[in-house]
Amino acid sequence: MASLTVRNLKESVKASLRLRAARNQRSLEEEVRIILEQAVEPEASEFGLGSRIHQRFLGLDADQMVLPDRPVVTPESCFAEDC
């Protein structure tokens, strides 16, 4: 892994980065690393729809997602209720 030193950074920028890192529950170093990685990643338009959807939901915890109840639809119930 490489190291990078950034000189002459405004204190206000550093303070904003610290706040952003705290909001995202990350260290300052990790937050800067993520920002840099996102800045140099290929544009989303270079990926297909499936890849973009995967990237969008990558960090979510599926076990904590609340999904609404959905009725069970069978071919028989469809004919009876005019689906």
Domain boundaries, the chain: 11-81
User: Residue 73: what pLDDT?
Assistant: 80
What does the buried/exposed string (b/e) look like for 26-61 if buried means 16 or more CB atoms within 10 Å of the residue's CB?
eeeeebbeeeeeeeeeeeeeeeeeeeeeeeeeeeee
Residue 64 confidence (pLDDT): 81
**pLDDT given at position 9:** 94
Looking at residue 52, its pLDDT comes to 80
What does pLDDT average to in each consecutive run of 10 residues of the chain (83 residues)?
Answer: 91 96 95 91 71 83 83 76 59
